[in-house]
Structure 1
Amino acid sequence: MDALDLLNDLAQRPLDALGYVQDRWDPRRLNAHPGGHPNSPAWLLWHAAREIDVQVAHLSGRDQVWTAQGFDERFGLEVDPDDLGYGHTPEQSRAVTVSEDAAGLQLLQDHLAAVVAHAQEYIGTLKETDLDEVIDRSWDPPVTRGVRLVSVFDDAAQHVGQVAYVMGMGRGD
C-alpha cells in the first residue's frame, strides 16, 4: 500500500464512521445543543463536510461540491460559499439546522458522501511526489499537500466521532 492508498482510505473514514452510528440517530438530537454548546450535531456534520469541500476545492482548483451540486440551496443556509464554520458566532452556529426527520439525516449523509467522493477523485489525480509539495508557508514548519489532506480528514473524522458520542448520550449503552 502506498501513501495515496492510505490517504484515500483516510478520506473514507469520516463517511464510514457516520455509517456505523446510523442506528443511533435520534432526529431530535441533530439540532440539539448539549450543555448549551452552540455547535449541534447537525452543525458538526455540516462543518466536517464543508471543511473537506472547501480545502479540497482549493487544492484541486475545482468547484466546491457545496455549490456545484446544489447543497447550498438544499440546506437553505445564508452563508458565504467559502464558509466552513470556523469563527462562527453562537448565532451563526445555531442557524445551521436540518429538518428533524429522515430527510435531515439524509441531507447530511448525502453532503458528506459527495465531498468524500470529490476528495477521492482528487486523490486519484495525484502522484506520491505531489504530497511533498509545500502549499502553505505561513506555518512553521510549512505545510505540504499531504499534511493538509491528512489534517482535513482527521479533523472531519473527529467531528463525526463527536456526533456519535452525542447520539449515544442518554441511551444507557
Structure 2
Amino acid sequence: MNSAGLLADAFGRVREVVHETVAGLSPALLHARLDPRANTIAWLAWHLTRIQDDHIADVADEEQLWLSAGWADRFALPFPEAATGYGHTSKQVAAVKVESADLLLGYYDAVHDRTVHFVRGLRNVDLDRVVDESWSPPVTLGVRLVSVVAEECACGGSWL
C-alpha cells in the first residue's frame, strides 16, 4: 500500500465510525447532552466534518463544500459561514441543531468523497509540500492530512 492508499484507508475507517454512530439517531439523541458542558453527537459530527472540509479545501485549493454545495444554507446554523466549531463555547455547541441524522451524514459523505478523491491522487513527494508557513516548523501536506485524521479520531473518540 502506498501513502495515498494508507490515507484513504484512514479516512474510510473514520467514515465507518461516523456512520455507525450517527445513522438512525433521532434529533433528540443527536442533541442530547450528558452534562451541560458536554458536546452533542450533532456538534461532534458537524465539527469534524467542518474541519475536514476546511482543511482539505485549503490544501486542494478548492472552495469548501459547506459553501459551494449549499450545506451552510441547509444547516442554517447561527454562526458565521466560516465557523468550524473550533473554540466553541457550551452555548454554541448547544446551538448546533439539525433536523436529522441524514443531513449530517449527507454533508459528511460529500466531504469524505472529495477527501478520498483528493488523497488517492497524491504521490509520496506531494506529501512534502509546505501548506502552512505560519508554524515552526512549517506544516507539510502530509502533516496536515494526518492532523485531520487525528482530529476526527479525537471527535469520534468523544462519542464512543
TM over 0.5: yes
Q: Whole-Å Cα distance in 2 between the matches of residues 86 and 17 of structure 1?
A: 21
Correspondence for 1:12: 12
Which residue of structure 2 aligns with residue 64 of structure 1?
64
**Shift of residue 137, structure 1, vs aligned partner:** 3.0
Partner of residue 50, structure 2: 50
Change in CA separation of 1:31 and 1:78 when aligned onto 2, cut-off 3 Å: same
Equivalent position SS for 1:21:
helix
Q: How many residues align?
A: 160
Distance 1:63 1:78 in 2: 21
Q: Which residue of 1 aligns with 2:106?
A: 110
Distance 1:81 1:27 in 2: 22
Deviations 1:143-163 (A, max 9, x none): 210111111022113312322
Q: Kindly, what percent of the aligned residue pairs are identical?
A: 35
Tell me, yes or no, if the aligned pair for 2:44 and 2:155 is still in contact at 8 Å. Answer: yes
User: Which among 136, 142, 167 is matched to residue 138 of structure 2?
Assistant: 142
Matched, 1:128 2:121: no
User: What is the CA distance between 1:26 and its match in structure 2?
Assistant: 5.2
d(CA) in 2 for partners of 1:90 and 1:80? Answer: 17
Partner of residue 2, structure 1:
2
The aligned residue for residue 88 of structure 1 is: 88
Aligned-partner SS, 2:35: helix
Q: Structure 1's 23 and 139: CA in aligned 2 closer, same or farther, altered over 3 A?
A: closer
SS of residue paired to 1:8: helix
Q: Point out 4+ residue stretches in structure 1 off by more than 3 angstroms.
A: 21-27
Given that residues 13 and 157 in structure 1 are in contact (C-alpha distance below 8 angstroms), is that contact kept between their aligned partners in structure 2?
no
Contact between 1:43 and 1:96, CA under 8 Å: does it hold in 2?
A: yes
Equivalent-residue separation in structure 1 for 2:10 and 2:53 (angstroms): 15
Instruction: Say which is worse superposed, 153-162 or 6-15, in terms of deviation.
Output: 153-162
Equivalent position SS for 1:36: coil
Q: Which runs of 5+ in 1 are unaligned?
A: 166-173
